[in-house]
Structure formats: structure tokens, C-alpha cells
Amino acid sequence: MLSSPYPVPRLRTWRAAMIIGWTAGIAAGVWVLTDPPLSYDSIGLALTIVWGAMLAVGSGLAAIGHLTQRYKLELPGLVLALGGVVIYDYLSWQQTLTTSPGSGPRALLLIVLACTLIARIRVLIYMDRQARQRVEMRDSAV
């Protein structure tokens, strides 16, 4: 069984897809850091750097979490990456509703991604609490 508490069987495809996906997340963060998108200059350089760092570091932690099968690394990474995705979604909506209505699908797809991350975060928190309860029950039985 996986060390990560995600209730899935040992599937190479799952692991590979997650690692590739989060590597793309790291690349997105690095991209924001090295070449900040000009269309989002309303937030200033400092916040752009923070946004890029959230995406890069969060995705990195999530990727390492999947690689080493450690949910305690994956969970903070997911929250951090979710922050980066939400900021990106906010900026996309701002652009969609003002200068570029064609960016709507991207803004909506970012909601899909954010919801998927929230669901995964919720599952990990649930499994962590279950594991804590089991440890407490085991300790009280001893």
C-alpha cells in the first residue's frame, strides 16, 4: 500500500501523473519568477515574486511528497500551491472582466484545479485525523 494516506492502490500511472503534474507546477512558479507576466503588473514585483514562490515551493513540496510518499510534506505543499492557483485565478478573473474576456475559460479551469486541490487537502486532513485517533486508541488500549 502507499505510504501516502490516499486510499488508492499502488499505481505507477497515478504516481507518475502526479509527479509530472507537480513538476509543471514548479515550472509555472519558476516561470513567474524569471519572467513575470506583464499583464498582471497591477500587483507589483514583490507580490509577483511571492506568488511565483508559492507556486514553485508548493508544487515542489507536493512533488516530493508524491515521490517519497509522505503526506506530511504534500499537505503544506498543496496549501501553498492552492494559494498560488487562487491568486492566479483572481488575476485571470480580473483580466477576464476588464481587458480580456477571452480569458474566461482559463479562469474557469483554474477553479477546477483549485477545487481538486481543496478536495485532496480535505482528504489528507481527514486521513491524518483518523490516523491520530487510531494512535490515541492504540495508546489508550496499552
Partner 1 sequence: MSSEAIVTLLVAIFGGGTAAAIIQGVVSHKKGVRDSDVAEDQNALQGYKDLAAEYKTDLADLKREMRETQKANTERFTRIEAELSQERSTRWAAVQYARDLVSLISRLLPGASIPAPPESLVDHIIIPSREDHP
Q: Is 125 in the site for partner 1 (CB under 8 A)?
A: yes
Question: Taking CB under 8 A as the rule, does residue 75 contact partner 1?
Answer: yes
Angle in degrees, CA 104, 102, 98, rounded to 5: 80
Asked if 3 and 69 touch (Cβ cutoff 8 Å), the reply is yes
Nearest of 105, 85, 87, 86 to residue 96 by alpha carbon: 105
Convert residues 33-72 into a mask of x (bound to partner 1 by CB under 8 A) and - (unbound).
---------xxx--x--xx--x---x----------xxxx
Q: Minimum CB separation from partner 1 for residue 107, in Å?
A: 15
| Residue 111 engages partner 1 in binding (rule: CB under 8 A) | no
Rounded Cα–Cα distance for residues 42 and 117 (Å): 26
Residue 15, number of CB atoms within 10 A of its CB: 16
The nearest distance, CB 5 to partner 1, in angstroms, is 4
Q: Is 10 exposed, middle or buried (0-12, 13-18, 19+ CB in 10 A)?
A: exposed
Please identify which residue in 33, 79, 111, 113 interacts with partner 1, judged by CB under 8 A.
79
Instruction: State the residues that interact with partner 1 by CB under 8 A.
Output: 1-5, 7, 42-44, 47, 50-51, 54, 58, 69-73, 75-76, 78-80, 82-84, 86-87, 90-91, 94, 121, 125, 127-128, 130-132, 134-137, 139, 141
